[in-house]
Amino acid sequence: MDDPIKMDVTPKVTGFFDEATHTISYVVQDPASNACAVVDSVMDIDYYAGRITYDHADQMIAFIRENALELEWIIETHVHADHLSGAPYIQQHLGGKIGIGEKITVVQDVFGKVFNEGTAFQRDGSQFDALFRDGDTYRVGEMEVFVMATPGHTPACMVHVMGNAAFVGDTLFMPDGGSARCDFPGGSAEELYDSIQKILQLPDAMRLFMCHDYGPNGRNIAWETTVGDEKAHNIHVGGGKTKEDFVKFRTERDAQLSMPKLIIPSLQVNMRAGEVPTDEDGNPVLKVPVNGL
């Protein structure tokens, strides 16, 4: 089998930072065509006013149109708990297929019960156009994309390797940010450590693109690093830190963290591929489970 890692392919990557959720969304362009992919888009929500808007997604749509690009894929690296996906809105305007890891079914099963969704809510991932398995490949134009399952933060987390660029979701943060929490249902510090090691086995020059950045210690927001930099300097796993030390640290740290403020709307929307749930009359509605999360 040919090596799926193509370090000689350099896609153009444009990041769009959402200040409200500290999320970075990406437009990734195939260098050999006008094809592109969107990774981890955002739909804006004023949670307290109950109002959804699309300013962030509109910026990405405008960029794609202004550069005469053809959107082929809208990728979710996982089911996000801290922001809402803009995938169906972008698809409505530009087309493309929405893809996520196959373990979305595990997430749907768990949170389908939490939100008391009943039998009308499908738990088979059918809301998405494609469910990826570990080792799958797909194409954005002429560029082959390689998919790695990286569970730990959530069961459905996957890294998408596009040429010499890898989109790691919440599995890793910038070296001074460390790693993601593992205390959501289905999360595992042991699995996260193993998943990070898979990423760190990629070539040292592989560019890594984060889904979030919080500017630790007051530095400017950043979202691109390399495998080599993470191996040497990541404060949670760099420098050869052991699995035992990581699991102890991660477990103790997670016990002190509060829940993301948008977790309730985010999970309900994102496990539906970005669609807002509706009541029996077709009105958009979100549930608040009491003692459910």
Assign residue 46 the CATH number of its domain: 3.60.15.10
What are the pLDDT digits (tens) for 139-194?
Answer: 999 999 999 999 999 999 999 999 999 999 999 999 999 999 999 888 999 999 99
pLDDT > 80? residue 119:
no
Helix (H) or strand (E) segment spanning residue 232: helix 227-233
Question: Who contacts 179 (Cβ-Cβ below 8 Å, separation ≥6)?
Answer: 171, 172, 173, 192, 196, 234, 236, 237, 246, 250
* pLDDT value, residue 291: 67
Lowest mean pLDDT among 49-53, 145-149, 253-257: 49-53
Any bridge partners for residue 70, and if so which? 35
Its pTM stands at 0.94
Q: Does residue 270 sit within a domain?
A: no
* pLDDT value, residue 277: 86
Q: Does residue 290 sit within a domain?
A: no
* pLDDT value, residue 210: 98
Q: Does residue 152 sit within a domain?
A: yes
pLDDT > 60? residue 270:
yes
pLDDT > 80? residue 203:
yes
Domains: count for the chain = 1
* pLDDT value, residue 292: 59
Q: Are 189 and 226 in contact (CB under 8 A)?
A: no
Domain housing 40: 12-257
Q: Does residue 165 sit within a domain?
A: yes
Q: Does residue 198 sit within a domain?
A: yes
Q: Does residue 251 sit within a domain?
A: yes
What are the pLDDT digits (tens) for 4-27?
Answer: 788 899 999 999 999 999 999 999
Q: Does residue 131 sit within a domain?
A: yes
Q: Does residue 272 sit within a domain?
A: no
